[in-house]
Amino acid sequence: MNVYSIHVRGDAQGDNNKNNQTPKLILVKDGYCLWATIFGPLWALVLGLWETAIIIFAFYMLVGFLIIELIPGTGAVMAAEAGVAVLVGIVANELRCWNLGRQGFEERATVLGNDSADAERRFFEANPDVLSRLEGAA
């Protein structure tokens, strides 16, 4: 079972913002993100997390520069960049939740599920009022 946090946009809770381009409900899987480890800033750009992508890229550059200045040798740089990649994978989904909060999403629940569809189904079974608001806002 995986743990997902459910984020609902403000207009799904009763506001009348008619921006239909943005989803009203987003599930974020808690825990380690392999795609963020592999792709780093590109992962953030694909999800539209521009500020996060810039921060991740700057962190990669800062660590690379410091290691080159402090410890000569390519092995140290590769090890440090691998460490940064693992760190990015660890905090990636938390950064995504933080960005969603800045975009007007509210974390409504934490749900267990085998996959995102199962978690979404469980959330709507426990919160039928949110489903009716989402359908009414569409």
pLDDT tens digits along 47-85: 999 999 999 999 999 998 999 888 877 788 888 999 999
Residue 118's H or E segment, with its range, is helix 116-126
Give CA–CA dist 26/4, Å, rounded: 10
Give CA–CA dist 131/138, Å, rounded: 11
Please name the residues in contact with 106: beta carbons below 8 A apart, sequence gap of 6 or more: 7, 8, 9, 10, 13
pLDDT for position 98: 94
Please name the residues in contact with 20: beta carbons below 8 A apart, sequence gap of 6 or more: 138
Question: What global pTM score does this model have?
Answer: 0.80
Residue 107's H or E segment, with its range, is strand 105-113
Q: Are 51 and 99 in contact (CB under 8 A)?
A: yes
**Bridge partner residues of 109 (DSSP):** 6
